Amino acid sequence: MSASHLDAELSLRRGDFGLSLAFTADAGATVALVGPNGAGKSTTLAALAGLLPLTEGHLRVGARTLEAPADATREPPQARDVGMCFQGQALFGHLSAVDNVAYGLRARGVARTQARAMAHSWLERLEVGGLAARRPAQLSGGQAQRVALARALITAPSLLLLDEPFAGLDARTHAEIRELLRRTLAEFEGVALLTSHDFRDVEALADEVLVLEHGALAQRGSPAAVAAEPATEHLRAMVDAR
């Protein structure tokens, strides 16, 4: 594995909005993207996932180039070895919790019995092992979020993308799932990126913070370093509110 497991130089346009952002991250690192609404956090995750094409730059994971517009390289999303937990990307309503979690393995050709056994063990790890047979409509928001995290993690992806993983959870559930995610990410071998509007999430989970504003990097550093000298008003408010 190379020293920088993730090497991203992302340049793209989305209507009037332009994103231009370069960063690297080591294997095993967790990177938090923070910034005000519309700064480009979700757009960054969508670009990494291959859902929005780059116009310039490159995206490399380990020795593999996922995207490089200059030489017309572009791996489609399903070939990227990415685990995603995106806002609004609901669980499959017609599948049970265990089959939702097994889905990524089944899509990679793992036999049903083995995929289900692994899915059960991921549901146990996320403390919802007893809910395996339930459909998404029979789960609370916090339970569904645990199932969604298991679904994203089960394939041991090189990149794990979590867009506001605690959105809509009550304070207690938020803290519980944050702690569970902290323990899970400590063992995760890929690069994890998450977005959050809560600096307590950043402090608990991230090794590195990328502070975005208007589609560009305003500051980068450890949670302690950026909290000590916030470069943007938005970050200062986030730090003060923690």
Min CB(38)–ligand ATP separation in Å: 4
For the stretch 205-237, what's the b/e string if a residue is b when 16 or more beta carbons lie within 10 angstroms of its beta carbon?
A: bbbbbbbbbebebbbeeebeebbeebebebbee
Give yes or no for a contact between 126 and 149, defined as CB atoms under 8 angstroms apart: yes
Residues 162-221 that bind ligand ATP (CB under 6 A): none
Min CB(48)–ligand ATP separation in Å: 12
How many chain residues bind ligand ATP (CB under 6 A)?
11
Min CB(12)–ligand ATP separation in Å: 10
| Residue 113 main-chain phi, psi, to 5 deg | -65, -45
**Near ligand ATP by CB under 6 A: residue from 10, 25, 32, 39:** 39
Please tell me whether residue 8 binds ligand ATP under the rule CB under 6 A: no
Taking the least distance from each CB to ligand ATP, the nearer of 38 and 53 is: 38
Please tell me whether residue 15 binds ligand ATP under the rule CB under 6 A: yes
Taking the least distance from each CB to ligand ATP, the nearer of 43 and 184 is: 43
Which pairs with CB-CB distance under 8 Å and at least 24 residues apart come from 139-144?
A: 139/91, 139/97, 141/168, 141/169, 141/173, 142/169, 142/170, 142/173, 142/176, 142/177, 144/90, 144/91
Pairwise CA distance, residues 17 & 66, whole Å: 23
**Near ligand ATP by CB under 6 A: residue from 13, 14, 112, 236:** 14
**Near ligand ATP by CB under 6 A: residue from 21, 32, 41, 47:** 41
Give yes or no for a contact between 158 and 65, defined as CB atoms under 8 angstroms apart: no
Write the single-letter amino acid at 24.
T
Min CB(20)–ligand ATP separation in Å: 12
Taking the least distance from each CB to ligand ATP, the nearer of 41 and 125 is: 41
Min CB(138)–ligand ATP separation in Å: 28
Residues 17-36 that bind ligand ATP (CB under 6 A): 17, 35
Tokens of 197: 């509007």
Summarize as ranges the residues that interact with ligand ATP (CB under 6 A).
14-15, 17, 35, 37-43
